[in-house]
Chain A
Amino acid sequence: MPETPPFVLRINGVDRSVAPDPRTTVLDALREQLQLTGTKKGCDHGQCGACTIHVDGEPRLACLTLAVMADGRDIRTIEGLQDADADGDSPADSSAPLHPVQAAFIEHDAFQCGYCTSGQIMSAVACIRQGRTSSSGEIQEFMSGNLCRCAAYPNIIAAIEDVAADQASSPQGGIPAA
């Protein structure tokens, strides 16, 4: 087998070098190689949603995405969500204010142990951005791929409804691409 050179993944606006093993998922590259541990490994089989990230602005499961297939894509993790409002292409800045969905999760007590939370928030941002918030049923259906063993579901839905309502009443409107 020919030796493959390391390749580059663009994560939260920064180019990062990743080892070229074809079996490595984006999830393992983030956590094991790049020390970006905000994205969680729950089931590692696409059944829990804890590893939800955004790839080119769309919610994706990092555990089922091979890193070699993601080069050239814009990958956004929970660490890069805060400043995504200002500039979707900017590097992560931990001093930036919380993303509105992060703030709403705190406001609504939308987590207990917190292990599923980064995945919940990444899906919630997409849920609101895609306008899937016309009813709690529509939110539930959109969020059904993000399991919460602490069962904070009512609070998660309340947080999403809150941000969606704010967005609808704001003259600027809209959650920018994260």
Chain B
Amino acid sequence: MHPLSYHRATSVSDAVTESSQPGAALIAGGTSVVDLLKEGSIGPSHLVDISRLALDEIRPADSGADDSGAHSGLDTGVLVGALVSNTALAEHPLIVERYTAVSEAVHSGATQQIRGMASSAGNLLQRTRCPYFRDPDQACNKREPGSGCAAVHGFNRMHAIFGHGYDPSEGVGPTTCIAAHPSDLAVALVAFDALVHVEGPEGARSIPVHELLRLPEGHPEADFTLRPGEVITELALPPFAGRSHYLKVRDRASFAYALVSCAATLEFDDDGRISRARVALGSVAARPWRLPAVEQILVGELPSAELFAAAAARASDGSVAFSMNSYKRPFSRSIVRRILSQTAGLEPLPGPPGTALSASVGGLAGTTRPRDELVGEAS
């Protein structure tokens, strides 16, 4: 066992300095890092504990000089400290009311113990749950560059269908990786065009969440675009005045990673037409997978079942599936149709907005509804 030193950061700049060292890893809630340490999937030589830094506030962003007032009273965004627990994020009134999909996404992930421990930034920075990444005896280009990818011809039911770049005619190479990113929160944040604010050795900058996570593209070992020593200090949610929703299909009703998930955010003009749409799938790529072709069909249109069916038909365009995960293609189309219909109010939500019951397809959401309602739905 190689040596591991521990440092409790006293400030963000101290964390930046300490984590700039080679072999350093940040730890906050610990739910992800401690598990990776035990598995031997990561082997840092220096742990930088940032859990006591004062980055645990949720507050409205300043409205600023360029406030146009276009968002009818919701004219400022919301800033979420990097160390706000997943539970505190999901239950904050500003998040539940304005960014409902964020609450639903977080509530649908993990368990109350883990959500209470895990930080908001840490949720984004979790590593893939690919079983071959998690097992040091298996070939994995992400864990050990150049060693191969056991998933392509292995148990790939949970893996990516988008953005992996795998070409069957070329076979498995030294940079092949078909892992999917497991975060529910990241998918919801991408649908809000959220950013992360980071501090680093070169100063501060902002990164769209969509660009914080990266596709393998020749370097599967790099999951994120953070530079050495960069520390996420805040998540920034831009102003939003529409309706949003998160839906998750999983193997059991609670405490399971998504097979496929989806976040949708819709804003409407005064005539009820969709003025802005963001739709992102989860668990289908190494980062949340935006669907611009779907979004384009929606903008300028009035919500209708026909519109949503036409848009959803494009949700699996460009996908390349593997031996065990071709089901993700029809799942993608179905979940997009259903989330659009629920978000626009054409179909009822499965549970109260902002809760895990609302985000769940089937499972608990079904069992907790009145039986006569379920019978009516089936007929």
The judgment on whether A and B are partners is: yes
**Which A positions have Cβ atoms within 8 angstroms of B?**
1-2, 4, 22-23, 25, 44-46, 49, 52, 58-61, 63-66, 68-69, 123, 126-127, 132, 135-138, 140-142, 144-146
A22 interface neighbour in B5, B39, B114, Cβ under 8 Å = B5
Which of the listed residues A2, A46, A60, A126 has the most CB atoms from chain B within 10 Å of its own CB? A46
Q: How far is the CA of A69 from the CA of B83 in the complex (A)?
A: 14
Q: How far is the CA of A60 from the CA of B110 in the complex (A)?
A: 13
**Which B positions have Cβ atoms within 8 angstroms of A?**
1, 3-6, 8, 27, 30-31, 34-35, 37-39, 47, 49, 51, 110-114, 116-117, 253-255, 356-357, 364, 367-368
Judging by beta carbons under 8 Å apart, are A144 and B34 in contact? no
Judging by beta carbons under 8 Å apart, are A145 and B113 in contact? yes
Judging by beta carbons under 8 Å apart, are A69 and B30 in contact? yes
Residues of chain B lying within 8 A (CB to CB) of residue A136 = 368
Residue of A with least CB distance to B355 = A141
Judging by beta carbons under 8 Å apart, are B112 and A145 in contact? yes
- Distance of A47 from chain B, by nearest CB (Å): 8
Pick 20 A–B contacts, CB within 8 A, sort by A: A22-B5, A23-B37, A45-B38, A45-B39, A46-B31, A46-B114, A49-B113, A52-B113, A58-B116, A60-B116, A64-B31, A64-B34, A123-B113, A126-B112, A140-B364, A141-B356, A141-B357, A144-B112, A144-B254, A145-B111
Residues of chain A lying within 8 A (CB to CB) of residue B112 = 59, 123, 126-127, 132, 142, 144-145
User: Which 10 A-B pairs give the minimum distances between C-beta atoms?
Assistant: A145-B111, A137-B368, A144-B254, A22-B6, A144-B255, A64-B34, A61-B113, A145-B113, A64-B31, A1-B5
Judging by beta carbons under 8 Å apart, are A145 and B117 in contact? no
Q: How many A-B residue pairs have CB under 8 A?
A: 87
Interface of A is mostly: mixed
Which of the listed residues B34, B35, B47, B357 has the most CB atoms from chain A within 10 Å of its own CB? B34
A145 interface neighbour in B1, B51, B255, B356, Cβ under 8 Å = B255
Judging by beta carbons under 8 Å apart, are B30 and A66 in contact? yes
Residues of chain B lying within 8 A (CB to CB) of residue A145 = 110-114, 255
Residues of chain A lying within 8 A (CB to CB) of residue B51 = 69
Judging by beta carbons under 8 Å apart, are A44 and B38 in contact? yes
Q: How far is the CA of A34 from the CA of B324 in the complex (A)?
A: 47
User: When A135-B368, A137-B357, A144-B111 are in contact, do A69 and B117 touch as well, CB less than 8 Å?
Assistant: no
Residue of B with least CB distance to A22 = B6
B117 interface neighbour in A1, A2, A64, A138, Cβ under 8 Å = A64
Residues of chain A lying within 8 A (CB to CB) of residue B39 = 45
Residues of chain B lying within 8 A (CB to CB) of residue A2 = 5
- Distance of A83 from chain B, by nearest CB (Å): 23
Q: How far is the CA of A142 from the CA of B70 in the complex (A)?
A: 39
Residue of B with least CB distance to A138 = B368
B49 interface neighbour in A69, A123, A132, Cβ under 8 Å = A69
User: When A4-B6, A141-B357, A141-B364 are in contact, do A59 and B49 touch as well, CB less than 8 Å?
Assistant: no
Residues of chain B lying within 8 A (CB to CB) of residue A66 = 27, 30, 34, 47
Q: How far is the CA of A141 from the CA of B104 in the complex (A)?
A: 13
Judging by beta carbons under 8 Å apart, are A25 and B116 in contact? no
Residues of chain A lying within 8 A (CB to CB) of residue B8 = 69
Q: How far is the CA of A139 from the CA of B6 in the complex (A)?
A: 38
Judging by beta carbons under 8 Å apart, are A68 and B6 in contact? yes
- Distance of A84 from chain B, by nearest CB (Å): 18
Which of the listed residues A52, A59, A127 has the most CB atoms from chain B within 10 Å of its own CB? A59
- Distance of A138 from chain B, by nearest CB (Å): 8
- Distance of B202 from chain A, by nearest CB (Å): 29
